[in-house]
Amino acid sequence: MSSHVAEKVIRTAETLGRSIAPSAGFLMGAHDLLGLDYMVFQIRKTNPDIKSIGVLGPERDIIVHSDIKERGRKLEPPQGEILERSEDGTFVRKIPGGSGTLIEIESPIVFMDKHLGSVILELDWSVLSTAQSVAQRKVIGLFAVILALGTVSSVLLSSNLTRPIKELSSGVEELKRGKTGKPLRIFSGDELGRLTASFNEMSGLITNQRERLAQDARELEEAYISTVRVVAAAIDARDSYTHGHSTRVSELVVALARELGMSGQELEDIEIACLFHDVGKIKISDAILHKAGKLDPAEWAEMKKHPEYGAEILRKAPSLRRFIPAVRHHHEWYDGSGYPDGLSGERIPREAAIISLADAYDAMTSDRPYRNAMTKEKAMATIQEYIGKQFNPELAPLFLGTVEKMG
Ligand SMILES: [Fe+2]
């Protein structure tokens, strides 16, 4: 064989070995045997003139090999005539054998300053000994392999590096949005793998704390609602004349709400709003609340503040704020002459207009210090009379029908 051709082929094979070694090192570091196999397969497929290719571990055990039967075998110490020894540790050896002489190129695999093993390429000396033109074509072929390998290795490296980072990034985004997902996959035991494990641990802690906080908030809300219920009952109990007022009004309101097609949460909300409707009376003095006679103008002005006082109490708990429109406006009149804001017509919240009917009916049919209770018929007639003035013209007839049905 022309020495010129032999030198060129050996140089090319050396370059090939050196370019494989870093990719093999990364794949070994990532314990990606599938990637190593794929790489060896590509080299053999692209250049059948390479007799064999293998990746050895630090003890010269064959990790992957183009001949699958070789996998797991432990190689003997290097033999044969050393043709060349490079500074980076690459050896070119000529090994005589029964089936022909081989050229063996061994390049060390070093990853993160650790010696992980070596890549071994075997070329058939007899193939190299063909005509120079053929050899030159092989050289070109080897360069093509190098290019192909570079591309494959880049894709593998990029995929192995970016996939865990992408998953970690999307996990952080999901956590920010308050989503509770499955723990992220851990791809390797390196720094990135440890970071993913720490993220999974942190994500679990945050999710637990979030659930505990939500539970605490629910319990706090329930406790506040219970407190306001107690206050509403206490207000009723303060005045023997209005005893049970809030409960009776609630029953009437729920019956009317059902007639109007309300159900579920909507029905529950209007019932609670009803229990709260006079909660502001807690701030009205006994002297006014229990006065036997009619209230003087100043006392009446104070009494008329109870819807605003009620709204102030509910404002302190975010979950109770939705009941404020019903509580604040349950004394508004349809014609705008009510209090505290003088709202009229459809501007009066619907739940307040419903409570207003039941509240007025129960007040009229209850004894007061300065008058006896009206009969059911008289109270209904009074509501009829005040349709369009005090009461909503659509709701009032329905309410009267409900009262009739309830007997
Ligand atoms: Fe009231």
In the reported structure, the alpha carbon of residue 223 is separated from the centroid of ligand 1 by a whole-number distance in angstroms of 24
In the reported structure, the alpha carbon of residue 311 is separated from the centroid of ligand 1 by a whole-number distance in angstroms of 12
In the reported structure, the alpha carbon of residue 264 is separated from the centroid of ligand 1 by a whole-number distance in angstroms of 25
The dihedral of CA 197, 202, 205, 211: what is its sign? negative
In the reported structure, the alpha carbon of residue 10 is separated from the centroid of ligand 1 by a whole-number distance in angstroms of 101
Question: Residue-wise pLDDT tens for the chain (407 aa)?
Answer: 456 666 776 777 778 788 888 888 877 877 778 888 888 888 777 776 678 889 898 888 998 898 888 888 888 888 888 888 888 888 888 888 777 788 888 889 887 777 889 988 888 777 666 645 565 666 677 777 777 777 777 777 766 667 777 777 888 788 777 776 678 888 777 777 888 888 888 888 888 888 899 898 888 877 877 877 777 777 777 765 566 788 889 899 999 999 999 999 899 899 989 988 988 988 999 899 888 788 899 999 999 999 999 999 999 888 889 999 999 999 999 999 999 999 999 999 999 999 999 999 999 998 877 778 899 999 999 999 999 999 999 999 999 999 998 86
Which CATH number is 3-164 given?
3.30.450.20
What is the CATH architecture assignment of 213-406? Answer: Orthogonal Bundle (1.10)
* pLDDT value of position 100: 76
The total number of residues shown for the chain amounts to: 407
| Span(s) in the chain for CATH 1.10.3210.10 | 213-406
- For 338, residues 6+ apart whose C-beta sits below 8 A from its C-beta are 331, 332, 390
| Span(s) in the chain for CATH 3.30.450.20 | 3-164
